[in-house]
Amino acid sequence: MGKVGIIGVGQSAFVRGYPGSIRELAFEGFKDAMQDVGIPTKDIDASIICSAPEYDKQRSPAGVFAEYLGLVPQPTCYLESLCSSSSMGLRFAYSLVKSGLHDVVAVIGFQKMSEISSAESQERMGRGADIQWESPFGTMMPAYYAMYARGHMEQYGTTLEDLALIRVKAATYGQINEKAVYRRPVTFEMFSDPESPMSNPVANPLRVGDCCANADGSSCIIVANEEKAKAFSKKPVWILGLGAASTTVNLAGRDLFSGLTVAQQAGEEAYKMAGITAKDIDVAEVHDCFTIAEMMAYENLGFAKPGEGKELIKAKETYKEGSIPVNVDGGLLSKGHPIGATGGSQIRTVVLQLRGEAGEMQVKDPEIGLVHNIGGVGLYGNVSILGR
Amino acid sequence: MGKKKKEVDDRFKRFGTVSFTSITKINDFIDYLDQGKIMGTRCKECGLFFFPPRADCYNCLSSDMEWVEVSGTGKLVTYSKLEFAPIGFGDDLPYAIALLDYGDYKMFGRIAGDVPEDEIHAGMEMTARVNTLPNGQLNYVFHKA
């Protein structure tokens, strides 16, 4: 069996309060990907629709989107793994294509979070954890990740200043990403300025500046077998390695609080499948829903030894010009995090980088890229390795 | 002649500030909380102990469980004090969620409101006690041991 390639990538702008319905939002990412690959819709053999449920009223969005996007009568289905839904979509698209069941599959991720209030959204997000044994205590995502931040600080002496450096990097690139929701500069000084919203506590030790913003958005990745990929695309990007893992939903079942086991496990699997190591990665997109999440990703993926992630960011090694550029599109911290669309957006960034089409954000001549996408509180982990 | 309404055992709706579950096979957990006891379950087939309690054992697939009281002290693993709360929890602010390690199992809960913030640190010995919330709901909170 041949290789599996990505032949088209697209995303909507990530925004607050998208002025349209979810099917219209999905159309934007889909159109962007279809214009990227330049094939007619009839050449798509199946679609996988990815999001986290309960942000909008539509049940089973797959059928609605397939109709609106002109993807009927081809098969379609809905797939979710919270914030890593569209990376999981890529994994399933790969298996559909690799098995020979389909030639070309569209993975469409979306989320319209603005249909509900921010407090309601926090409650929904919190219910992506254990609703029987944790949610009744009043949990929310920033507080869960704050528990990991404290764990990392206790274990390795990581500081709030180290975390602030990650947000400053994100904002450096968010300013030049026209699809990002947050495009203003963020300085290190803002984190110690009580007048700046960045310094406001959310769930200690995390502050507003450590958290990504909710956003509305959609993304689309077109996956094809080797023959179709070569026929349809001048610059196909190949899927070299895929890893995925889960862990206990209740934190009480876990032992590690200074890293995410799902990221370690998915990373190891993906490296093994691709036959490479962390040293071979030229550009990476990691799931920085919070600054601490990017710090842990450096270590869980092997870019740094455990506890040494802070040295990478202090030395600016994860900037565009550094030895391992990470999130040079602004990451979730600047782009915003429309749950189901996020993985697709990360994949899009890495594909554009490998094609040399990332514009101002372009890293010098990357050959292999990595996407790290986490669902829930380190509950689901997907790592995808792509190459030219 | 109306049909007799079937009685629903929804005791679990009393767990926590807002419970998102009302019907579960381990509803007796709530009765034990009423008695001031925090209970886990042990599989009578293979002996595996569970906290939080479960009705079913994933190890041997048995559903023959017995209740066992959780006692002693645990070490604080990590925690976070919330300045914002999800909808339905605003009146509880500020509060800290936390994880306690009892060695063989861990417990997710809250730190008692009267533990001074500057005395909270990872590794400290704490003990979980049943707590009645202002709205009459039940949970458990961690006190200094």
Picking from A148-162, A256-270, B84-98, which range would have the lowest pLDDT averaged per residue? Answer: B84-98
Residue A89 CB partners (closer than 8 Å, separation 6+): A48, A50, A79, A107, A108, A109, A221, A343, A344
Query: Which chain B residue lies closest to A123 (C-alpha atoms)?
Result: B86
Residue A96, SS3 per DSSP: helix
Per-residue pLDDT of A362-371, as tens digits, reads 999 999 999 9
Catalytic residue among A50, A83, A211, A220: A83
Q: Are strands A104-112 and A46-50 parallel, antiparallel or unpaired?
A: parallel
CA B52-B54-B58 angle, to 5 degrees, is 115
Contacts of B136 in chain A (CB under 8 A): none
Boundaries of every domain in chain B: 11-69, 74-144
Residues of chain B short of pLDDT 50, as ranges, are none
Residue A1 binned pLDDT confidence (cut-offs 50, 70, 90): low
**Mean local confidence (pLDDT), A336-340:** 97
Residue A127 binned pLDDT confidence (cut-offs 50, 70, 90): confident
The boundaries of the domain holding residue A59 are 4-117+217-232
Evaluate whether residue A158 is within a structural domain. no
Q: Give me the pLDDT at residue A119, please.
A: 77
Q: How far is B13 from chain A (nearest CA, A)?
A: 10
Catalytic residue among A102, A152, A287, A337: A337
Q: Give me the pLDDT at residue A89, please.
A: 98
Per-residue pLDDT of A69-86, as tens digits, reads 999 999 999 999 999 999
Cα(A69)–Cα(A208) distance, integer angstroms: 37
Per-residue pLDDT of A51-70, as tens digits, reads 999 898 899 999 999 999 99
Is A250 within 8 Å of chain B by CB? yes
Cα(A30)–Cα(A298) distance, integer angstroms: 31
Evaluate whether residue A253 is within a structural domain. no
Residue B94, SS3 per DSSP: coil
Is A92 within 8 Å of chain B by CB? no
Q: Give me the pLDDT at residue A216, please.
A: 97
A122, A136, A203 ranked by CB distance to B17: nearest: A136
Q: How far is B2 from chain A (nearest CA, A)?
A: 34
DSSP string, A248-260: -SSGGG---SSS-
Q: Give me the pLDDT at residue A98, please.
A: 98
| Largest interatomic CA distance in chain B | 64
A253 to B51: CB separation less than 8 angstroms, yes or no: no
**Residues A233 and A5 sit within 8 Å (Cβ to Cβ):** yes
Contacts of B122 in chain A (CB under 8 A): 150-151, 154
Backbone angles phi, psi at A291, to 5 degrees: -55, -40
Best of B12, B24, B56, B82 to substitute, by most chain A Cβ atoms within 10 angstroms, is B82
Q: What percent of chain A has pLDDT over 90?
A: 94
Cα(A23)–Cα(A351) distance, integer angstroms: 25
Cα(B35)–Cα(B79) distance, integer angstroms: 27
Evaluate whether residue A137 is within a structural domain. no
Residue B94 class from Cβ within 10 Å (0-12 exposed, 13-18 middle, 19+ buried)? Answer: middle
Contacts of A202 in chain B (CB under 8 A): 82-84
Evaluate whether residue A276 is within a structural domain. no
- H/E run at residue B82: strand B74-82
Backbone angles phi, psi at B132, to 5 degrees: -100, 125
Find, among A54, A72, A52, the residue nearest to A63 by Cα.
Answer: A72
Evaluate whether residue A148 is within a structural domain. no
Q: What is the CATH number of the domain that holds A73?
A: 3.40.47.10
Token digits for A356?
A: 């040399």
Per-residue pLDDT of A32-52, as tens digits, reads 999 999 999 999 999 999 999
Query: Which chain B residue lies closest to A143 (C-alpha atoms)?
Result: B80
Q: How far is B5 from chain A (nearest CA, A)?
A: 26
Per-residue pLDDT of A275-312, as tens digits, reads 999 999 999 999 999 999 999 999 999 999 999 999 99
Find, among A370, A367, A293, A296, the residue nearest to A326 by Cα.
Answer: A370
| Structural domain count of chain A | 1
ipTM: 0.95
Residue A380, SS3 per DSSP: strand
Is A337 assigned a catalytic role? yes
Cα(A16)–Cα(A13) distance, integer angstroms: 10
Evaluate whether residue A152 is within a structural domain. no
Q: Give me the pLDDT at residue B3, please.
A: 64
Evaluate whether residue A228 is within a structural domain. yes
Count CB neighbours of B105 within 10 A: 16
Residue B61 class from Cβ within 10 Å (0-12 exposed, 13-18 middle, 19+ buried)? Answer: exposed
Mean pLDDT, chain A, integer: 97
Sign of CA dihedral A245, A210, B95, A82: negative
Is A234 within 8 Å of chain B by CB? no
Is A131 within 8 Å of chain B by CB? yes
Q: Give me the pLDDT at residue B51, please.
A: 97
A138 to B77: CB separation less than 8 angstroms, yes or no: no
Cα(A118)–Cα(B97) distance, integer angstroms: 20
| Angle in degrees, 0-180, between the axes of helices A85-98 and A339-355, rounded to the nearest 10 | 60
Cα(A318)–Cα(A283) distance, integer angstroms: 9
Evaluate whether residue A60 is within a structural domain. yes
Q: What percent of chain A has pLDDT over 70?
A: 100
B105 to A126: CB separation less than 8 angstroms, yes or no: no
The pTM (predicted TM-score) of the whole model is: 0.97
Per-residue pLDDT of A14-29, as tens digits, reads 999 999 999 999 999 9
